[in-house]
Structure 1
Amino acid sequence: MKKILFLTGDFAEDYETMVPFQMLEMVGYEVHAVCPGKKKGETVKTAIHDFEGDQTYSEKPGHNFALNYSFKDVKAEQYDGLVIAGGRAPEYLRLNKDLLEVVKHFFVANKPVAAICHGAQILTAANVVKGRKLTCYPAVGPEVTLAGGEYQDIPVTDAYVDRNLVTSPAWPAHPAFIREFLKIMGAKIQI
């Protein structure tokens, strides 16, 4: 069974945590949901970001999401893929040097990586986007450019694939985001 490392944290976007985690488990992957500084069984508080016609998304309280693995026990080489949730969590998670080293492993080893919305902030902090094409929440686009990446302005319902990296602007892209990640993971789904 393939194993996926799933990075989330307090005030990660609710849908971007719950939906990918459940979908990846649904297709048969062993998914370890972790947050630096928290242990298996502890929870992170999520936030619901919605698009209601304002200049940016609105934010409401989400759910408590139970972590099923401890970050301190993560050995990056044991995972086949990495998924990074968006929301506000990436802005502080990117300050964790151990987390950045884990992220770098997936790029050095050319393993599948998926990041949605503000998850790109972790990628830029890990210095892995130089020369890469990717997307994210539009307000994070300047960070991608400053880090040497090529920001892709795509519809909020789409995903962008550059080699082993799948990115999307926000949760409305879940069908495309998960589909493209499953492809680079080598999954075959027959209907």
Structure 2
Amino acid sequence: MAKILMLVGDFVEDYEAMVPYQMLLMLEHDVATVCPGKSAGDSVATAIHDFEGHQTYSEKPGHRFAITADFDGLQPETFDALVIPGGRAPEYLRLNEKVLDIVRHFADQNKPIAAVCHGPQVLAAAGVLKNRECSCYPAVAPEVQIGGGTYMTPGEGMDTAHVDGNLVTAPAWPAHPAWMREFCRLLPTD
């Protein structure tokens, strides 16, 4: 099965890290979770974002999410695909030049990339959205557009995924079934 890299950081959205991670493991993929400044055996804090009728999502403490591989010494060429969950982590992960180089590697090599919610902030900062279509949480749409991409409005209920070549994006965790289904269709098989 595929060897997949998942980029996370403190206050990654709980469902957007844990659920895809578990789904990919269920399908017997090898998933390495990494975070700048952390090593295998460490963990990150997560945040639970919910849609409760306010003008924006609410945020509550989530679970601890395990880091399974060392960020230092990471070799992106040894991975088949990349997953970037949302939450608050992307806003500072995009400031890390090594994170941006990793994203550029996957884009340049046309390897499958899945990003959800605020994850496309990292894609925009890496400069890989030019002339690409990208779904995301609506508040991230300006960054997609500034990055040269076309913002794809999510379907009602925010449960749809958008595919543009090797790029699979979605607006938020309600899209997990569609987002992971489309991503898995792009993964190499044995």
After TM superposition, the structure 1 = structure 2 runs for residues 90-101 of structure 1, keeping only pairs within 5 Å, are 90-101=90-101
Distance in 1 (alpha carbons) for counterparts of 2:162 and 2:50: 21
The corresponding residue for 1:160 is: 162
The corresponding residue for 2:66 is: 66
The corresponding residue for 2:119 is: 119
Distance in 2 (alpha carbons) for counterparts of 1:153 and 1:44: 30
**Total equivalences in the alignment:** 188
The corresponding residue for 1:182 is: 184
Q: For 1:83-112, what per-residue CA distance to the aligned partner results, in whole angstroms no more than 9, with x for missing partners? A: 001000000000000110010000110000
Distance in 1 (alpha carbons) for counterparts of 2:172 and 2:188: 23
TM-score (norm 2): 0.97
SS in 2 for 1:83: strand
Aligned-residue offset at 1:187: 5.5
Gaps of 5+ in 1: none
Q: For 1:130-149, what per-residue CA distance to the aligned partner results, in whole angstroms no more than 9, with x for missing partners? A: 00001100000011001100
Distance in 1 (alpha carbons) for counterparts of 2:77 and 2:187: 15
Question: For residue 89 of structure 1, what is the amino acid of its counterpart?
Answer: A
Aligned-residue offset at 1:184: 1.0
After TM superposition, the structure 1 = structure 2 runs for residues 26-175 of structure 1, keeping only pairs within 5 Å, are 26-155=26-155, 156-175=158-177
SS in 1 for 2:87: coil
The corresponding residue for 1:23 is: 23
Distance in 1 (alpha carbons) for counterparts of 2:188 and 2:127: 26
Q: For 1:30-70, what per-residue CA distance to the aligned partner results, in whole angstroms no more than 9, with x for missing partners? A: 10000011111111000000000000100000001111111
Question: For residue 93 of structure 1, what is the amino acid of its counterpart?
Answer: L
Distance in 2 (alpha carbons) for counterparts of 1:41 and 1:108: 30
Distance in 2 (alpha carbons) for counterparts of 1:59 and 1:149: 28
Question: For residue 172 of structure 1, what is the amino acid of its counterpart?
Answer: P
Gaps of 5+ in 2: none
